[in-house]
Chain A
Amino acid sequence: MIFTNIIAVLMVSAFIALLVGKRFARTLPYIAAIGVLISFALLAHFASNHHDLFHQAMPLVSVPWISSLGIEYATFIDSLSFILVALTLILALVCILVSVSEISQYQNFYYFNLLAALAGIVGVFAAADLFLFFFFWEVMLLPMTALIAIWGHENRRYAAIKFFIFTQVSSLLMLVAIIVMAFIYQQQFGDISFNYFDWQQLNIAMPLQYWLMLGFFVAFAVKLPSFPFHTWLPDAHTQAPTAGSVLLAGVLLKTGAYGLMRFVLPLFEQAATHFAPVAIALGVISIVYGAVMAFAQTDFKRLVAYSSISHMGFITLALFSFSPIAYHGAIVTLVAHGLSSAALFAMAGMLYQRLHTRDLKKMGGLFASAPRMGGMLLAFVAGAFGMPGLLNFVGEFMTLTGTFTHHPIATAFAATAMIGSAIYGMYLFQQSFQGKPQENVKIPDLRAHEWLLCSLLFGLLLYLGLFPQALLMHFDSIYPSVADAQLIGGKL
């Protein structure tokens, strides 16, 4: 019941926020925070009672929903979904903290959308029924679009529509694939079923399997996003309110990676193997292209957006190299990028509130007036360019160590991102905080709640960076059935 409870708590607090209305607008962040904290407490309570159960998927609920089509309300949990839901809830707190001083219009509707999007994301990670999965996939999309379209920056409508169309078109492909899969199940086993565990027994012939796999892959590659489906991301990030960017980078992109891990690799082993060279090429292109594009940007948020594309390329590369080490690296990268990119977008928001610009050319020398902020920005930039000691390094290092065995050339190209990320990272930090101060610009240093937020995120990155086993020990056995034995041969 754990995920159902969390979704219920989030949705209830969403509606409370909506009903509270403008009159008690000041209570809204507290309502949202209480909802998130209750969810977090539920999750922690569940974790403390189930240490041992993370090593395999554990079904939670299964209730018939549309029984004539075999659709169920079914959820399950394993270490992957647990970690991602925990990440979602942590970043939910970050979203609320950054919204406090930023949002002044339609606050009740804003918090409603924020909480509804969170509920949708948790649902995506929880669903064991593919129809339910698709349902939640849409649930998270709509409030997210609203967040961008209503509370975004100057060009918000364009960005929101672009985001919506990209995601919608690609998810329709996935919907077609889901329906076909259900019918194939009916052909092979008599009953129609959308259940994830049922589908694992499917045996689909090759050309068809390939097309079905592509249907899923495109939907997830757009969300990830992978080159060449990435162009919605810079616009959406740049225009979204801070919390929107945090949510987008921190968890929404992770749903794409989650889809690849959960569905594409285990359900379509053979097709994924055939497709691997293409996927690896796309991953490497994303890594390099994202890094070069990031360097060319002059908009703080656009730069971070392109760096996200680069980092998510590591996920594609890791997953399609079918190396257990790289797979673990991908999981670490998910968490690390979630935390560090959320932090960078939060910083962008703080700077925008102080300077009313995101243009790096109009910044400079801010270190003199805001040294703590500068120190924190450098720390998060260091995380992004893979400074050992922070979590991002572990993910990147494991990914590349794992992939090198199978794809040395691709890995060598991917490794150039270590140079690229240093270039754009240092450019970002120096352009804003070093150099000659713009005439008499004095900005206030981190305020209490900003300090709290930054130290929370940095503390997590550092702690997990030094003790990543705290995260990885839960993943000993969840390397998916994906043909590890036959593909990897003896080489582990």
Chain B
Amino acid sequence: MTALTLLPFFPLFSFLVLIVLSKRLSWHIATAVALTGIGLSFIASIVVIQSLNVSASSGEGLTQSLWTWFMLGEHEVRFAFYVDQLTAVMIAVVSGVGFLIHGFAAAYMRDDENYSRFMAYMNLFICAMLLLVLAENLVLLYLGWEGVGLCSFLLIGFWYKDPDNAIAARKAFIVTRIGDTLLALGLFYLFMETNTLNIQEILAQQQTSPLSDEAAWWIALLLLGGAVGKSAQLPLHTWLPDAMAGPTPVSALIHAATMVTAGVYLIARMQGVYLLAPEILNLVAWVGCLTLLIAGIAALAQEDIKRVLAYSTMSQIGYMMLGLGAGANVAAVTHLMTHAFFKALLFLGAGAIILAVHHQQNIFKMGGLLKRMPLISILFLIGIAALIAFPGTSGFVSKEAIIAELWQSKTAGPVFWWLAVVGAFITSVYSFRLVFITFFGPYRAEHELLPQRHGLIVLPLVILALLALGGGYIPTHLEQVFSAPVASQHGPAWLHTVAIIAPLLGIGVAYLLYFPKTESSPAVPGTSSVYRFSHNGLGFDSTYNALVVKPFVWLANINRKDVIDLLVQLISWNTFTWHSAMKAAQSGRLRWYAATLGLGTALLLLGVIL
């Protein structure tokens, strides 16, 4: 199938054109090249999904093999793609949402002197992300996995002259790399046990000769390690807020809609292995649950609009993880899709606001924007409504579906249900804190507002807003891929009502706490120590710094001269010292020789006598 073969390579081609011709391209041509690449990918995705729906009523996927990559003993690792309904969702989201973000980015980055290079990196990222989700085997998935990591590094550090951006880029890369290494170990373990790294073969094997409990436990744990790194979950979540140093379209594309969901995709994809390790599924649920709470609390105390959204992303991915842990894979992946819509909308909306207020990101220096830029504000509010799962939005469909399955799940349960509902409450508090401070009250910025009306700014936002509203009803056929949910019947009747009311309650609380009561009262960030603590992400960064980073740097630096070399130098010092001692003895003076001869004889005699 040509469309499937070419699907990930269109953006690669645009990347090559953009990076080679670079500054020789005008804005119009560079934009055309960049958008063509990803646009063709989107069209190809639609074609592939169409033919998948035609051919695959049986649940079989499409496979497209390109060439043999290398041999692992008897096993052939191929450069090959596999598409089923799960892949279909992913490629549609990556290329579709990616296309809209590229359009926005074209306007957002228009005046940057390295515009072509920026669009080149974005295209390369799309290529890597598509390879990740299309991969037929885990090695090719790992290629995409590392590829998106490298692109993320390049894009976070795009404005590399500021050392802070460079540090944030490095941090993102290295922290996720820790997860990547665990993932790699998981692959080694899988290969040892199953003698294959082809995903469908592995899953098929689990039907006939499943992994031993111990092997499944380890493999599921190691793959989870990879997932928490990429998806910014506890305990490897600390890179994501700093990653906001990148240009805003990057945050929308990589750190909200696509790359950070790779971990969710991985666990969903390997469901057959996870079902053999219920303890690890339970751990997945815990990871998701704790992350969504911790990130939600941290989001309550942020002043930077992008950091609020970053913590919110972590928290929403926590919901997806919680869903996976509870066995609600269809709901989790649906939430992945709707989250891509509304979070991309929120980030791009934030980008439009940031442009309008002269690259100010502090929400306490905004205010009153609803009256001054109503269109963007309303679009942003649609995103917020979806984020808090306001009834009728796409977020409502997917998030309620996750929460609904928690109570009865064997690997989750009522505790998780309660925590998830509390999380939903917190979500709506921090969301409306953001809304009330940014859009209401007096305008507090120092400069006049620069309203953004460029078509490429507004149009993607409008489309994303429509998706954020209705995207939950897009048919996905995910149930063909996943085993039926663990829970068959639902819990008590009041659960649903409580889950719907919790976010609404949150709006009320946020109104009481944060709504500017009078036109003149200034909104100020908190100053209490609790506020500072959650502002700093609940102290994870400083703990890791003290426990891991500093000891490592200290250890490396103290041994800079290489202790082993000191041993070698000891040998040479020894030789030189004896050499000079002996040389001193050979002075060539007869008297000295006679004296030492005499002294030696005397000592010898003394020795003999005694």
Contacts and interface: CB of A to CB of B under 8 A. Distances in A.
A404 B186 CA distance: 10
Contacts of B84: none
B98 interface: no
Contact of A434 (B142, B150, B166, B185): B166
A404 B187 CA distance: 10
Interface in B160-181: 160-163, 166, 169-170, 173-174, 177-178, 180-181
Contacts of A404: 185, 188-189, 191-192
Contacts of A466: 69, 79
Contact of B560 (A231, A296, A367, A427): A296
B562 A416 contact: no
Interface residues of A, number: 54
B466 to A, nearest CB: 37
B136 interface: no
A231 B180 contact: no
B70 A231 contact: no
A325 B72 contact: yes
A422 B177 CA distance: 7
Given A296-B557, A404-B189, A434-B157, 14 more contacts: A227-B564, A231-B568, A234-B562, A292-B556, A325-B72, A371-B117, A387-B147, A388-B139, A401-B188, A412-B185, A418-B180, A426-B170, A426-B174, A469-B70
A468 B188 contact: no
- Interface size of B as a range: 35 or more
Interface in A315-336: 324-325, 328
Given A388-B139, A388-B142, A388-B147, A419 B70 contact: no
Given A230-B564, A435-B161, A389 B147 contact: yes
A296 B161 contact: no
Nearest to B568: A231
Contacts of A436: 161-163
A324 B73 contact: yes
Interface string A278-322: 000000000000001101110000000000000000000000000
Given A292-B556, A365-B161, A436-B163, A468 B70 contact: yes
Q: Is the interface of A mostly helix, strand, loop or mixed?
A: helix
A469 B72 contact: no
Q: Which 8 A-B pairs have the closest CB atoms?
A: A388-B143, A404-B188, A434-B160, A296-B556, A231-B565, A296-B560, A422-B177, A434-B166
B184 interface: yes
Interface string A403-445: 0110010011001101100110011001001111100000000
A296 B73 contact: no
A492 interface: yes
A405 B142 CA distance: 20
Interface of A: 162, 227-228, 230-231, 234, 292-293, 295-297, 324-325, 328, 365, 367-368, 371, 375, 382, 387-389, 393-394, 397-398, 400-401, 404-405, 408, 411-412, 415-416, 418-419, 422-423, 426-427, 430, 433-437, 466-469, 472, 492
Interface of B: 19, 22, 67-74, 79, 117, 139, 142-143, 146-147, 150, 153, 157, 160-163, 166, 169-170, 173-174, 177-178, 180-181, 184-185, 187-189, 191-192, 552, 555-557, 559-560, 562, 564-565, 567-568
A251 B194 CA distance: 37
Contacts of A426: 153, 170, 173-174
A19 B315 CA distance: 74
Given A231-B564, A426-B170, A387 B163 contact: no
A293 B71 CA distance: 33
Given A397-B139, A419-B177, A426-B174, A469 B71 contact: yes
A367 B185 contact: no
Contact of B562 (A293, A375, A389): A293
Contacts of A324: 73
Q: Quick one: which of B143, B160, B187, B560 has the most chain A CB within 10 A?
A: B160
Nearest to A475: B71
Given A231-B562, A400-B188, A422 B174 contact: yes
B181 A419 contact: yes
B73 A492 contact: yes
A335 to B, nearest CB: 13
